[in-house]
Amino acid sequence: MKIITHNIKSTACAALIPLMLTSCLKDKPFPLYPNKQTATVDYKFAATADSLQDKTYSTYLSSNGNYFKQDNAGNTNYNYWPQAHTLDVFTDAYLRTKNEVYKQRMKSLLNGTRITNGNKYQNEYYDDMEWLALASLRAYEATNDNDYLDAANTLWTDIKTGQNNNQGGGIAWRKSQLDYKNTPANAPAVIFACRLYALKKNDADLTLAKNIYTWLNATLVDPASGIIWDGINGNHDGLISKNKFTYNQGVYIGAALALYKVTNNADYLADAVRNAIATINDTDISPGGLLKSEGQGDGGLFKGILVRYLTLLIEEPAVSTADRDAYVKFLKYNAQTLYTKGISRPALFVSPDWKSLPSGTTDLTTQLSGVMMIEAAAVLKADGKF
């Protein structure tokens, strides 16, 4: 995964359309969780998730039906890692609705990804393969279709070849750059290894997860704040890149939570809680309580990944009421802001900036983050947390 972002031009304010919530406000400060702005809205998160799912499928599906295109304006470029998140989004919808159409879309995408990728699942980037492995394993657990498990196992065999002692341990970012280690290639590997261990009880998977997590904690966690840094030795200088991306926080939360679930070691849960609190209070990551725009391209997907794993932390019974309430309040504000200000209607495209309507092209990655947020909101509302 290469980081590619695009600038989004500011959009003119549209007229308010009754009941469709398509208006945008002139630029002004957004106070933390401004409940008065959203108190009278009937948030139909589940229905909106259904609509966004259908719009995403019909707009971004390639002409041959095998993959999902780069954007909604005719760019048919194939990018591997968003396919994995599209599979995850379809799984979200299937688990929420039990509608068989999503099972069909899931299976078609798994097969189409293999075909489009040269009749194989493996590729150059270890983090890309981890995303597809995670999505495939989750699809297997949702459907009991062994094709997903076979794909996950094939990918895991290749992913494990990325381990080496460069920078003290961990998994490399890509096969042609084995001395660069980063959070995106290591935290998802911990999540996958823990989930596979929970399923198959192979001790080697749990040992690997613990070892990678220990390296990650020692190398890329800011000891003062608990925020996760991006990587080490990206420029062959041994230095740490301290960029604060939203998705790095998400996958770290996911890794710590996954280890807690399979070990019952409260230290792991404490790590997840510490990072989650730091994330929602960090003015660079969440200015005014709203997750920042990270552009489009790869950055368009970042917020959705954080939302996915923060939602799992909310659903963990061992989290204290006070901490859970803080996460719920944060995600609720983000979901409501996106719902009322960041989705064009009736077009149903998502903006990379959740407090502004989209302007121009919407990348698949950006669209997927919005779907993830609304799907999470639908689940949390159904669970009585919103």
Tens-place pLDDT, residues 134-158: 999 999 999 999 999 999 999 999 9
Structural domain contains residue 136: no
Structural domain contains residue 19: yes
How many independent structural domains does the chain possess? 1
Structural domain contains residue 265: no
Structural domain contains residue 46: yes
Q: Is the pLDDT of residue 22 over 50?
A: no
Domain that holds residue 359: 15-60+286-386
pLDDT per residue over 246-257, tens digit each? 999 999 999 999
Structural domain contains residue 348: yes
> Dihedrals φ, ψ of 240, to 5°?
-95, 130
Structural domain contains residue 197: no
Residue 39 has a pLDDT of: 57
- pTM confidence score: 0.90
Pairwise CA distance, residues 182 & 170, whole Å: 8
Q: Is the pLDDT of residue 2 over 80?
A: no
State both tokens at 56. 């995403």
Pairwise CA distance, residues 144 & 135, whole Å: 13
Q: Is the pLDDT of residue 5 over 50?
A: no
Q: Residue range 41-49: average pLDDT?
A: 97
Average pLDDT, rounded, for the chain = 92
How far is CA 226 from each of CA 286, 316, 341, 348, rounded to the nearest angstrom?
Answer: 15, 20, 31, 36
Q: Is the pLDDT of residue 383 over 60?
A: yes
Q: Is the pLDDT of residue 17 over 50?
A: no
Q: Residue range 101-113: average pLDDT?
A: 98
Residue 247 has a pLDDT of: 97
What totals of helices (H) and strands (E) does the chain contain, helices first? 12, 4
Q: Is the pLDDT of residue 38 over 60?
A: no
Structural domain contains residue 3: no
Residue 27 has a pLDDT of: 30
Residue 34 has a pLDDT of: 52
> Dihedrals φ, ψ of 224, to 5°?
-80, -40
Structural domain contains residue 93: no
Q: Is the pLDDT of residue 194 over 80?
A: yes
Q: Residue range 19-41: average pLDDT?
A: 45
Pairwise CA distance, residues 335 & 314, whole Å: 15
Q: Is the pLDDT of residue 86 over 50?
A: yes
How far is CA 11 from each of CA 17, 24, 27, 73, rounded to the nearest angstrom?
Answer: 16, 9, 10, 18
Residue 28 has a pLDDT of: 33
